[in-house]
Structure 1
Amino acid sequence: MSVRPAILLAVSLLLATPLRADSDLPPAPLSDTQLADPRQEAAARALMEKIRCLVCQGQSIADSNAELAGDMRALIRQRIAAGDKPSTVQAWLVRRYGSWVSYDPPLDRTTWLLWVAPILLLAAGLVLARRSFRSRRRG
């Protein structure tokens, strides 16, 4: 008898969790506000296009409405307004969140498969296509 209420509570909590994914806090000050200097804003926007949203995973932080993406946009604008170069800010983000946060990850021992896999898949497709065409000619 006491197991049923516990199961209902667990299911209710699991269903309610996505509804509270974002907090009730106001957005970060520079998350949706452009910098006064157009060159700095252009540099910040270009960098935002290169950084992956850690919540959405399929969008850049420039396109994402997630709260974390807004915080990251604000952070990028603050650092660029303070005089940091976009490459310095990107390197800091990669150190903090890992290479996966960048849409252009560096070639190293953890990301080599990301760079080599398209070439291997293309080569495998060419081999399969060649075999298929040869078998059609013979048959």
Structure 2
Amino acid sequence: MRRLALVAALSLPFAGHAGEAAPVADDPALEERVMRLSHDLRCLVCQNQSIAESNAPLAVDLRNQVREQFLAGKDEAAVVDYLVARYGDFVLYLPPFNATTMLLWLGPALLLVAGAGWLGWRLRRRVREAPPPLSAEEHARAAALLDGTAKPSQESRS
């Protein structure tokens, strides 16, 4: 009985979205335009899905807004401009290159160049660093170990 109650409680948040579906326009060409543009727009709730893939209420509303804009005679660029003006560049999966998105576009390349530069600097520095010379005692011990004539010390056993 407890398991049934747990399953019912966990599925409750998803029950509200199960029956929702975006209204489909009578014109299949219009609906195809809506869905094509919807694949280029990010769901602001899900953030990893387009509004075409998401069934979140906001995604349904955005698809309806796209449909209404097309019915009003606007082209795709005007619809995108309307949504960007209302929700910002985040609504686009492929944001434009401008001052606010410069780090988004150039960040990976800058990190790659910085990492390669650091790695090169570190490798050059490692080559220049000579290991400290062995003392006469350490040299004699190493030679004895290589010959097999030395007994292992307590330090090497632990």
TM-score tier after normalising by the smaller chain length: 0.5 to 0.7
Question: Structure 1 vs Structure 2: percent identity of aligned residues?
Answer: 42
Q: Is the 8 A contact 1:47 1:86 kept in 2?
A: yes
Q: Gaps (5+ residues) in structure 1? A: 1-15
Q: Is the alpha carbon distance of 1:66 and 1:128 closer, same or farther for their aligned partners in structure 2, counting shifts above 3 Å?
A: same
Partner residue of 2:24 out of 33, 53, 71 = 33
Q: TM-score under structure 2 normalisation?
A: 0.59
Q: Is the alpha carbon distance of 1:123 and 1:22 closer, same or farther for their aligned partners in structure 2, counting shifts above 3 Å?
A: farther
CA distance in structure 1 between the partners assigned to 2:117 and 2:110 by the alignment: 11
Q: Is the 8 A contact 2:20 2:55 kept in 1?
A: no
Partner residue of 1:98 out of 88, 92, 98 = 88
Q: TM-score under structure 1 normalisation?
A: 0.66
Task: Report the counterpart of residue 78 of structure 1 in structure 2.
Answer: 68
What are the equivalent positions in structure 2 for 1:1-139 lying under 5 Å apart? 27=20, 31-38=22-29, 40-128=30-118, 130=120
1:73-120 Cα distance to aligned partner (Å, 9 max, x none): 111112113321111101100000111111122222222111111221
CA distance in structure 2 between the partners assigned to 1:90 and 1:21 by the alignment: 30
| Between 125-134 and 97-106, the greater mean CA deviation after superposition | 125-134
Q: What's the Cα RMSD here?
A: 3.1
Q: Which has the larger radius of gyration?
A: 2
Q: Gaps (5+ residues) in structure 2? A: 1-8, 129-158
**Larger relative contact order (CA 8 Å, sep ≥ 6):** 1
Tell me the number of residue pairs that the alignment of Structure 1 and Structure 2 aligns.
Answer: 118
1:46-90 Cα distance to aligned partner (Å, 9 max, x none): 211111111111111111110110111111112113321111101
